[in-house]
Amino acid sequence: MQKDLKKDEWAIVLDYLPHGYYGMRISQPVAQVLGEEYFSLLEVIVRDGIHLKVGSRVYIGDGKRDEVKFIKRRIDFKDLTGASKEEVSDIVEDLVKTKPKKFLEFFNNAGPITTRLHQLELLPGIGKKHLWAIIAAKKEKPFGSFEDLKKRVTMLPDPEKMIIKRILEELEDKDKYRLFVPRFEKTQR
């Protein structure tokens, strides 16, 4: 049995429903969360007596969980509550800004997908001209920061915003290719 290597250990609360959803068989506290590493959209059952705040960080890994009783299921973007949909872009932005090295590595290591399509071209705002400029610049030396990337590739749109927009598109399942959000089978954990 192969261990699932794409499990988030920590997540950010998008919405907290202290009495659960309308029509649930058992009224219990539910939260919708976004994984910090793989951007997993999950519905979790919250332990009794715990009240979560939107934007708070909760442990969802395999060890002892203080706030989360169990992970009920993976959810799609369309399953998010209105409040969760309002929060998701701000939380993705915060996650990208707190881990710039991870996303900068993408620019330094991105390669071709097919003979006609490169991973960089999947970012909004990257066409052939920017693609070749990025490839040429990273051959000289790897990018050290987003500022370095912007300085060395003229007229490049904001790389952080491109990544945030791409992650949101992947969460909404708008493209068959994935760069940052793996495809998950919907199973209970």
Judged by DSSP in three states, 70 sits in strand
What per-residue confidence (pLDDT) applies to 185?
Answer: 64
Q: How many CB atoms lie within 10 A of CB 17?
A: 20
Query: Same domain for 65 and 109?
Result: no
Residue 189 confidence class, pLDDT cut points 50, 70, 90: very low
CA 106 to chain CA centroid, nearest Å:
14
Query: Same domain for 114 and 50?
Result: no
Give a yes or no: residue 4 inside a domain: no
Give a yes or no: residue 93 inside a domain: no
Give a yes or no: residue 189 inside a domain: no
| In the predicted structure, residue 188 carries a pLDDT above the cut 60 | no
Claim: this prediction has a pTM higher than 0.85: yes
Q: Which of 32, 59, 86 is the last residue of a domain?
A: 86
Which CATH number covers residue 75?
2.40.50.140
| In the predicted structure, residue 186 carries a pLDDT above the cut 80 | no
Token reading at 73: 């299921």
Q: Could you read off the pLDDT of 12-71 as tens digits, one per residue?
A: 999 999 988 877 778 899 999 999 999 999 999 999 999 999 999 999 999 999 999 999
Give a yes or no: residue 140 inside a domain: yes
Judged by DSSP in three states, 84 sits in helix
Q: Mean pLDDT throughout 126-136?
A: 96
Query: Same domain for 63 and 120?
Result: no
Q: 70 forms bridges with which residues in the sheet?
A: 45
| In the predicted structure, residue 4 carries a pLDDT above the cut 70 | no
Query: Same domain for 73 and 110?
Result: no
| In the predicted structure, residue 1 carries a pLDDT above the cut 90 | no
Q: Which of 26, 58, 86 is the last residue of a domain?
A: 86
Residue 5 confidence class, pLDDT cut points 50, 70, 90: low
Give a yes or no: residue 53 inside a domain: yes
Give a yes or no: residue 82 inside a domain: yes
Give the range of the structural domain holding residue 68, as residue numbers without chain letter: 10-86
Q: Could you read off the pLDDT of 58-111 as tens digits, one per residue?
A: 999 999 999 999 999 999 999 999 999 999 999 999 999 999 999 999 999 999
| In the predicted structure, residue 139 carries a pLDDT above the cut 90 | yes
Of 27, 20, 36, 33, give the one whose Cα is nearest residue 67.
Answer: 33
Which CATH number covers residue 155?
1.10.150.280
What per-residue confidence (pLDDT) applies to 88?
Answer: 98
